[in-house]
Amino acid sequence: MMNYGLITGASSGIGKAIALRMASKKIPLLLVGRQHSLIPIQEAIGQAGGVAEIFDADLVKHEHWKSELSKNIASKNGAQWSVVLAASILGSPREECELSNYNHVFNTNVVGNLAVLEACLPQMTQTQFGRIVFFAGGGAAYAYPEFPAYALSKVSTVRLTENLAAIYPPSTGLSFVCLAPGAVDTPMLAKVIAAGGEVKTKTNIEEPVNFVEEYCNSNSNILSGRYIHVRDNWKDYLSGSKQVIQDQFFLRRIQ
């Protein structure tokens, strides 16, 4: 079967790095987002010998594009999909704290990403394979007063991951994880630091990229439903040398 990768948030940061890594492995990509922001990464992938298709979409307005995305994915009949769903943050704490902007952040990071995933689910259930990575860093782990709307969306993303893992158990061949990537030097982290956020230890961008590559290539779905930090001992679980013994939703972190 042909492997495909679908990525939201590929225009910059971790999403961009993941797209470049997947493309280097000759995995054809479907990049979902605003076309003008994705053209540079599409061109870079093409120059490196990879293939990337852009699906132009404003994640907030999923009612305008979801059915077309479903048709696009269905046209690649029999493909096995790995889906990486990145996130966004508004420009300043002032914007984040305005009640009118909560809907925008939540509808982008949670509802919009869920709409993208729902477009993929029929193919995933048909092929009995799907690897889905959500992202939820510090905003999901502790209070984020500088960016409260973002933090709310990330906590919701963790629970969304857990719910999906319960709806689609391991027997379906689907696996859902929520990754805390650490403090990676990205435009998003720059906004957090500019707002007064404290960063004690930075994470090399290769760490979350390596996780996504190994997880998407693994036949194990033992981590499904877990909230994982990139520095957790996840390799032992994917290799089978360790088993998750707690009830699936008793403890989010794998330790």
How far, in Å, CA of 19 to CA of 27, rounded? 9
pLDDT over 90 (residue 244) = no
pLDDT over 50 (residue 176) = yes
pLDDT of residue 24: 94
Give per-residue pLDDT as tens, 95-147. 667 777 888 888 988 999 999 999 999 999 999 999 999 988 777 777 777 78
Give per-residue pLDDT as tens, 30-47. 999 999 999 999 999 999
Mean pLDDT of 41-59: 95
Report all structural domains of the chain as residue ranges with CATH numbers, in order of start: 3-239 (3.40.50.720)
How far, in Å, CA of 193 to CA of 173, rounded? 40
- Which residues partner with 116 through β-bridges? none
The pTM of the full predicted model, rounded to 2 decimals, is: 0.88
pLDDT of residue 249: 46
pLDDT of residue 110: 93
Residue 33, CB-side half-sphere exposure with 13 Å CA sphere: 26
